Structure 1
């Protein structure tokens, strides 16, 4: 029997994501946000959209080529229909971005940071740019005229090119100039004020000189976005290929996959456009004309040019994550945690506190084993890796479950894995077909012939850089139940066992979703029996259809449901007789809201879990995830109150309406910024 799915209270995940990214653009519009931070939000919007096209649009493109008819279970749209709507929605976002970019450029001019075009340079500037072009750029150029002897080149994913329509006798031909990737993205011009010109604008200006044998009719800057969603070649892997080598091969493929978008800044001729469409095998709907630079990552480099006074004006006030926590001074981390659970709240509290615990464990003679999962640790020198290596060299058993398939971080993880192996750590790579996304660290001690477990479970990665930018929670506990579950978890990962049972932890892909549905149903049953029932949730995204339906059912039974969802939200709140009792807000601010917190019930009986998992099918069914209960009454109260504080936000919060659009909260409400509140609470 096929279960009937009701689309009335759900929306398409891709279109919901685009609305979230529009929220990011709104932060760039907000004049109460410092100017440089607004530029950062604009750059983030752009890079978000790039990744969306590489990953999500790339996947939909693949599905659209299949003969089988598939429908999204939230909107009942086919992949092709979803692509049509995505392309249409993107064009609206491009227009909005263009208006905003022009506004920000004027604000930058007023602040003494001016972008100049080649046609508006002064004489001194012209001479400076000409010299730079001739000595630094021109020798690196590899221009190409497309003809019988020079076939159309492969355009690298997200690289910039100058496309030129050339007249040769009576024929129109195409010229291509790759923009050198080993030069700075912009050139600062001489003078007291901060003036700059983009590298691609310089090359565009000199296109006539480069193709001096032809008449240049039209010229434009172009960039192609390619599908980057690589699947492992299971057959090759099963034949025994080394896993590290396998991932290296996958990375090489990424720049060669199908084009899913072409961006154009400048003027094109019909013949040029048709030629590009034909050779890239894309449709007109996949072409986007930009009135702003295609790559906006250069905006992030302005920080190094700002004076002290400008930084004070144009950037958020600097802050240092607090090294203070509930541990008394002169008391060790291990000593404290052995008697009392500890909770850290990043970025308000420092990631160094976690590293302090690891360092204590490295040099504690009672510690005999450290086990940890690593998903994203970043490019920079990682103290955690160094500490784990030292622990192994000192004879401790160090097991690192390294997830190589951390999208766009694969190369970093391969490098760290090899370094750890060289130091004597046992490195394993998780389970084939399932990303290990769980954040868990287990320290094992032997004290008076008894084994003690210190377990750390978090909502975010073991990454010092992101821990200063993302809001995440980290729990430290010596609970035997949780510790024994952690032991079982690492044993299961080492034996490819996805179906192990745990006493305290909820785990995907085996039990997380059924347990969450059970917890939702418990609140539903309380409501049916006339008892107070409440669900309070925080996550990045909500897309899992079964969980959505369970929430809708609980809502119909009278459960009051509040959700703080930063990104995709496929449930529409406030739909009559469906989701009446569901309210959703979205918070986008200085820090990326990243923690996942699930609260069921109210008062003393509230059950609270922190987790690495969003309520997305990929997390609940196709990844290894963990949700950990909070047993300590004080910590439960701390987490619950922090959720209520976030719910009070009127500055960075937006309400999700029944039509799937976000709305600013009433200007009549008192202004309250939850992130600013936490900053003051932890750092003053």
Structure 2
């Protein structure tokens, strides 16, 4: 008999995520956001929804095929009921996106940024498109009729295809024209401004010429979304087979997984829709109509075509990540970090100081080893160059490379090969556990004394996303943290997940139990009438055990504040259950990404930063690290950033007991505070002050001391 699920203060995970993505779409309607940036938010909403179907809906779909009974621990729904709930919730989002997209395109036309249909073009434009289709597009197309001699082809996930309902000699049939991904997404017209025609619209317009012996009854653009939730652990691999080779096989299999969604743009007609559903084995509830293009990734390419004056008018003002004032730019970094802890806050601060630290370590004769865990890298990575240089300089370089970082697997495989070629030791983690931690350890020997410099991050070592995501990067020479980091890498190399650590909290064994202990300490204080506080900043909250402990804290009188960017299965403000919990989300120019756990108030509060969300996958099925912030100055820095976020009344939204989001109430006289904008301005001001009054470097300080001693003599 299935145990009843308590849903009094919880909600279904997927519906919570859809509410978050709706918040993203709100940015596309916000008049305070520059017009072209609003178009990008519509594109982000669309790509988010694509990934949601590939991963989350794909995962639930797999559960519907399982013989094992499963009931969601937050909603009490079966997988089939979850899928039905998702299919009911998504169509209104499509309609809202389509309406928003159409309004944005209308506004952009007045700025001479125009997506045109072929039928809208004048004679000159029509000739250009016709030439392009004839000479450039048609030669690479493979139109086909689907019948007994021409089987239904494999349609790759999210690849665009023109589908047609055809008739010849009284017989009905169907045609398909897959659009090769090698084609550009649009043709720019030879006119002033940025005027263009999408490639799929060109193929759709001229599709009749590809089936000239048939009568075309209806035609449309379609895209299939396939399940991408494939686990390498579920796939058999040969004993002794290199895990990297195994991952390459898994990636090939992913491309052919089952369809979970069909999107249609245009007038498909009942016969064509039915045909596609039968061949793809999809129900009508899994078919979604769209007026907007099915792939909006082209929006980012458009931005590169905009003239400078248009960029200035329609895009966010350019922001350059700043050098932190705590570091002297022209001075070596290793001595500076040995003297004091340093916190970088991306993208307000540049990633450059951390990269420079690794580059210095690669050439420093005193450095014995560099060890690092890597989850995601950009397609070009200075970090890999510096690690390779360190190995080539005779340093012991160990890289724990996670090959199962979803959608970055191929990229990570290529980087692993490059590092191995340079002489680095590359490890691939554990069967059944992804290594998601962000830690780098530099070990030095200075006059027979071992020194550690440890870097702990909340985000990936990805130089591209460090300009788009907010994340903390702590660099510390505290020996206690370094000793734990050394134990961590030794345990990783010997496949020991149950290692003992004095300061670091390491999942899957010590992170969640320690967080529960810290919450219990606050509960005990509240029951004794002592003020008790918990602050949590994460991307998602789904772990039922942590949710229940937070509800218990609320019921004991602990004041709980949570900044949860996306999924939140905990419903705050439920009378008598979670009414001491306040949860808010911030969606702005940058993607909020740090994880912070703080317990208590004032100088005695304990604070951790780390890589883990409050999700069961993170706390029980991944290797994650949370590091205590021991330096009081760094704790004050982070507390200042938290205060800014908690007082944001521009981009923050409160989560209500019913799972919906609402704007933060703001009195008429109160100034508007956008926390991310405030942090940008603050970082620029601090950098300008540091440039005007640079701190005295060690070299200059030494020179002043020598001159003073000379005078005294």
Per the normalisation by structure 2, the TM-score is 0.94
Per-residue deviation, residues 652-673 of structure 1 (Å, max 9, x unmatched): 0001011000001224343100
- Indicate the residue corresponding to 2:468 in structure 1: 469
Asked if structure 2 preserves the Cα contact closer than 8 Å seen for 1:586 and 1:655, the reply is yes
Deviation at 1:234, TM superposition (A): 5.3
- Indicate the residue corresponding to 1:511 in structure 2: 510
What is the correspondence of 1:221-232 to structure 2 with a 5 Å cutoff? 221-232=221-232
The 1:130/1:544 distance shift into structure 2, 3 A limit, reads same
- Indicate the residue corresponding to 1:355 in structure 2: 355
- Indicate the residue corresponding to 2:132 in structure 1: 132
Per-residue deviation, residues 159-213 of structure 1 (Å, max 9, x unmatched): 0001000012222100000112211100111222321111010110111111010
- Indicate the residue corresponding to 1:680 in structure 2: 681
Deviation at 1:151, TM superposition (A): 0.6
- Indicate the residue corresponding to 1:274 in structure 2: 274
SS of the aligned residue for 1:305 comes to coil
Q: Distance in 1 between matches of 2:85 and 2:122?
A: 45
Aligned residues: 683
- Indicate the residue corresponding to 2:187 in structure 1: 187
The 1:263/1:4 distance shift into structure 2, 3 A limit, reads closer
What is the correspondence of 1:410-429 to structure 2 with a 5 Å cutoff? 410-429=409-428
- Indicate the residue corresponding to 2:703 in structure 1: none
Per-residue deviation, residues 227-282 of structure 1 (Å, max 9, x unmatched): 01111255733622211110000111111000000000111222211111111001
Per-residue deviation, residues 426-469 of structure 1 (Å, max 9, x unmatched): 00011111000000000000011111111000101111111111
SS of the aligned residue for 1:256 comes to coil
Q: Distance in 2 between matches of 1:85 and 1:318?
A: 41
Asked if structure 2 preserves the Cα contact closer than 8 Å seen for 1:399 and 1:425, the reply is yes
Asked if structure 1 preserves the Cα contact closer than 8 Å seen for 2:53 and 2:261, the reply is yes
Per-residue deviation, residues 557-613 of structure 1 (Å, max 9, x unmatched): 000000111010110000001001000110000111000011100012100000100
1:650 and 2:649 aligned = yes
- Indicate the residue corresponding to 1:431 in structure 2: 430
1:171 and 2:171 aligned = yes
Q: Distance in 2 between matches of 1:131 and 1:329?
A: 55
Deviation at 1:68, TM superposition (A): 2.4
Deviation at 1:308, TM superposition (A): 1.1
- Indicate the residue corresponding to 2:146 in structure 1: 146
Deviation at 1:36, TM superposition (A): 1.4
Asked if structure 1 preserves the Cα contact closer than 8 Å seen for 2:5 and 2:75, the reply is no
What is the correspondence of 1:45-60 to structure 2 with a 5 Å cutoff? 45-60=45-60
- Indicate the residue corresponding to 2:371 in structure 1: 371
SS of the aligned residue for 1:597 comes to strand
Q: Distance in 2 between matches of 1:170 and 1:247?
A: 50
Structure 2: give runs of 5+ residues left out of the alignment.
686-713
- Indicate the residue corresponding to 2:300 in structure 1: 300
Structure 1: give runs of 5+ residues left out of the alignment.
none
- Indicate the residue corresponding to 2:239 in structure 1: 239
Q: Distance in 2 between matches of 1:170 and 1:316?
A: 57
- Indicate the residue corresponding to 2:623 in structure 1: 624
SS of the aligned residue for 1:338 comes to helix
Asked if structure 1 preserves the Cα contact closer than 8 Å seen for 2:4 and 2:76, the reply is no
Asked if structure 2 preserves the Cα contact closer than 8 Å seen for 1:599 and 1:640, the reply is no
Query: Which deviates further from its counterpart, 263-272 or 461-470?
Result: 263-272
Q: Distance in 1 between matches of 2:271 and 2:235?
A: 43
SS of the aligned residue for 2:376 comes to coil
Deviation at 1:329, TM superposition (A): 4.9
Per-residue deviation, residues 472-515 of structure 1 (Å, max 9, x unmatched): 10111111111111111111111111111100000100011111
Asked if structure 2 preserves the Cα contact closer than 8 Å seen for 1:538 and 1:563, the reply is yes
Q: Distance in 2 between matches of 1:245 and 1:18?
A: 36
Asked if structure 2 preserves the Cα contact closer than 8 Å seen for 1:459 and 1:472, the reply is yes
Q: Distance in 2 between matches of 1:287 and 1:222?
A: 10
Deviation at 1:333, TM superposition (A): 1.4
- Indicate the residue corresponding to 1:321 in structure 2: 321
- Indicate the residue corresponding to 1:594 in structure 2: 593
- Indicate the residue corresponding to 2:692 in structure 1: none
- Indicate the residue corresponding to 1:78 in structure 2: 78
- Indicate the residue corresponding to 1:457 in structure 2: 456
Deviation at 1:683, TM superposition (A): 1.4
Q: Distance in 2 between matches of 1:82 and 1:519?
A: 34
Q: Distance in 1 between matches of 2:233 and 2:534?
A: 42
Q: Distance in 2 between matches of 1:359 and 1:180?
A: 42
Deviation at 1:398, TM superposition (A): 0.3
Per the normalisation by structure 1, the TM-score is 0.98
What is the correspondence of 1:572-611 to structure 2 with a 5 Å cutoff? 572-611=571-610
Asked if structure 2 preserves the Cα contact closer than 8 Å seen for 1:527 and 1:557, the reply is yes
The 1:443/1:228 distance shift into structure 2, 3 A limit, reads same
C-alpha RMSD of the superposition:
1.3
SS of the aligned residue for 2:74 comes to coil
Asked if structure 1 preserves the Cα contact closer than 8 Å seen for 2:233 and 2:432, the reply is no
Deviation at 1:641, TM superposition (A): 1.8
- Indicate the residue corresponding to 2:702 in structure 1: none
Query: Which deviates further from its counterpart, 189-198 or 366-375?
Result: 189-198
SS of the aligned residue for 1:589 comes to coil
SS of the aligned residue for 2:304 comes to helix
Per-residue deviation, residues 100-156 of structure 1 (Å, max 9, x unmatched): 011001111011111111221111111111111111111111000011110111111
Q: Distance in 1 between matches of 2:191 and 2:119?
A: 18
- Indicate the residue corresponding to 1:665 in structure 2: 664
Asked if structure 2 preserves the Cα contact closer than 8 Å seen for 1:508 and 1:621, the reply is yes
Deviation at 1:679, TM superposition (A): 0.3
